[in-house]
Amino acid sequence: MMVMVMVGEGVGFQDLPEGCIANVVSLTTPRDACSLALVSSTFRSAAESDSVWDRFLPSDYNDIVSQSTSSSCRSKKQLYLSLCENPILVDDGKKSFQLDKAYGKKCYMLSPRMLFIVWGDTPRYWKWTPLPEARFSEVAELVSVCWLEIRGWINTHMLSPDTLYGAYLVFKPSSAGAYGFEYQSIEVSIAVAGVETHKRAVFLDPERGKRLRYQIVPRRVGIFNRTRMVAAAGPPQPPRDNLDDQYPKDRKDGWLEMELGQFFSEGGEDKEVEMGVYEIKGGDWKGGLLVQGIEVRPKQCVHANNTI
């Protein structure tokens, strides 16, 4: 954002009162504020002031932060950066909250306990496992099912207005390895206020895309359709335009994520967003996944792990 300030002849911008400079800086972005802090000591004092960073924080940040005991910062800038880099648990540990670092947009992750999982309370099919590297106290471990159905909900009033959001299933294979996802596509969908806006088929097997590119031929063996890889045939194939969108992507925290779809948070009227993951038609048995949750974050902003 470019901010133009008219000053009198012979008066430089740096000669303005610090409060005036702070007011101008607060109309930019967090990234701009960090850049302007390098101009001079006066700019640094103004750009790092609480009045500036209070404008970058969500208007309801006090209510959100009060739900967590892990956030204690001396300044609003420190609080902002802490919320970007260290997600806090809210709603009795059922959700996590953080900020997009570039623009201060809200990001949430719904824990597995916040999700509707068919047969989720039946140990034969799913079990709940503590995991040190997980964000929540436990993750949902898929043991073996022939009917996979996971759904989650979030209301738009919790999110930043005028923002395009994406929803992502965050998961990874268990230590024993996943099976049953090599051939079977998974249906993912987004519905806003009961109206389905996005629906498509994806694959939760991250290796499938590599096999398609390099023509590695998998074969099913055993009653659970486990896969054995056989020799590759032919040279590597060029990437397909939409191939990456169908397969999970690596995250910096060591997990995988699969985009379920996107929706626009307008602000004003509160709407319920339903996010779904389904495989209920094939009937094949599948298992070996650890589900950490569903993350909802801005799509048109730099991800919170990036550096200002």
As given in the structure block, the two tokens for residue 184 are 């079977």
Contact at 8 Å (CB) between 134 and 32? no
> What class, spelled out in words, does domain 88-215+243-307 have in CATH?
mainly beta
Where would I find the H helices in the chain?
A: 18-25, 30-36, 41-47, 50-56, 61-65, 76-85, 207-214
Query: What tens digit of pLDDT does each residue of 252-292 get?
Result: 999 999 999 999 999 888 999 999 999 988 889 999 999 99
- Specify the pLDDT at position 306: 41
- Specify the pLDDT at position 109: 98
- Specify the pLDDT at position 218: 54
CA distances from 45 to 30, 141, 298 (A): 15, 49, 30
Residues of the chain with pLDDT under 70: 1-15, 70-71, 209-243, 300-308
Place of tokens 């902002």: 80
Q: In what order do the strands lie in the sheet with 195-202?
A: 116-117, 148-155, 272-279, 186-192, 195-202
- Specify the pLDDT at position 49: 85
- Rounded distance between C-alpha atoms, residue 257 and residue 259, angstroms: 7
- Rounded distance between C-alpha atoms, residue 80 and residue 104, angstroms: 8
Q: Domain segments of the chain: what residues?
A: 16-86, 88-215+243-307
- Specify the pLDDT at position 239: 46
- Specify the pLDDT at position 71: 62
- Specify the pLDDT at position 60: 94
- Specify the pLDDT at position 178: 94
